[in-house]
Each structure stands twice: as structure tokens, then as C-alpha cells.
Amino acid sequence: MSSIELQMKLFVFVGLLISIAFHEFGHAFIAHKLGDPTPESQGRVTLNPAVHWDIIGTIILPAVLLFSGSTFFVGWGKPVEIQPRYFTRKVSMSLGDTLVSIAGPIMNVLLAIAFTILFGILVRNMTLNPTNIKILYGIQTWVYLNLVLAVFNMLPIPPLDGGHVLMNHLGHRQQGFKDFLANYGMYIFLALWIFGGPILRPIFKPVYLLGDYMIALAMP
């Protein structure tokens, strides 16, 4: 592995650490705002990244996969525990859980926008030497990374956030399907991640096109 490849992988890894922390903070913040004291009591309503990292899912496994050159790349943060019974009565428990679920992907979208703005500021003010070009390219990868995380987490498969949203909006007539997802969602998720390239590729192609458009807007 060349030094440039190593530096780019380090950039991706750091971006993943930041993105996961913001994602989990989004869940904790909205649950807290809805009246659930659990995230605050566990110290999760903070942007301190270390609080949200899972030693295996955020650090060890992504690092091993990334630096070994594996095409299989996955990572996750420490799940935010919530208790919907504490939610304000202004929303139902299912709606509250849905709002908490989508808050993580929304944070990733906001982070992608923030990195795009940062990219635009830097590209207008930095001298384009080899070091700075690598920094700009790294920030650009963070834009794509957060867009992919947002969309991937909204796939309607438990334990992803989109799976929570789907489960919250299936009625009693779909109880059998809900039970199936609850029991086999994790296996479907793993199979999709490992073997689902042909299925996921059409989903993520527009995501990368959106990233291209955002970066193009940020260019002088």
C-alpha cells in the first residue's frame, strides 16, 4: 500500500468516526427533546465522539476491513437506548420512535452539506499543492460517505433506521410480516450487504450523482 493510499484510507476512517458520532447524537438529541430522559442519563446527548463509538463496530472492524483492502466495509455506533413511553403526549410512541430513527440519517445529510461548504471554502482559499489537494479530496470523500450512510440507514430492513420506520407503520394486519422482519431482518441485512451489490448499485448511483452535483456547486 502506497503512502497516498494509506493517507486516503486514514481520511475515510476518520470521516467514518465523525459521521457515526453525529448519527448517534441525532438519535439521542431528538429522543431527549421528545421527553425521554434515557439518552441524557447515559451521557449520549453530546457531540463527544468517543461516547458514541462501539469499540468493535466503530473502530476495530472498520479499520481491519478498510486497511486490509476488503471490498466489504461496514461500521456502526453504540446504539442509543430509548424508552418511548416517556415521549411527550404530543406525539404517539410510534411517531416519536420514527422521528428518533430518521434523526440519525438527517444528521448525516446535514454533515454532508457542512463538508460541502467546507470544501467550497477551502478550494477557494487554499494553494493547490499536493498536500492540500489530498485534503480536499479527503473532505470530498466525507461528503459521499455521509450521503451513503444516510441512504443506507434508511433501507427498510431491521436493524437499520429505515427498518424501525417501516415497523412503526405496519398495522396489525401485517403482524406476520413484522414478526418475519423482527426475526430475520439481521440476516437479510447481512446478505444484502455482502451479496447485494447488483441490488444496491441502482439505489446508490443517484446518491453519488447527488454528491457530484454538490461538489460541483461548491467549486469556484
Mapped onto helix, strand or coil, the DSSP state of residue 74 is: coil
Q: Determine the average pLDDT of the residues in 152-160.
A: 91
Please report the pLDDT score of residue 158 as a whole number: 87
Please report the pLDDT score of residue 35 as a whole number: 97
Q: Is the pLDDT of residue 1 over 70?
A: no
Q: Is the pLDDT of residue 148 over 70?
A: yes
d(CA 104, CA 175): 26
Of residues 15, 11, 19, the one with CA closest to residue 110 = 19
Does the pTM surpass 0.85? The reply is: yes
Which spans in 34-160 are helix H?
Answer: 38-41, 49-52, 61-67, 93-125, 130-153
User: In the chain, how many domains are there?
Assistant: 1
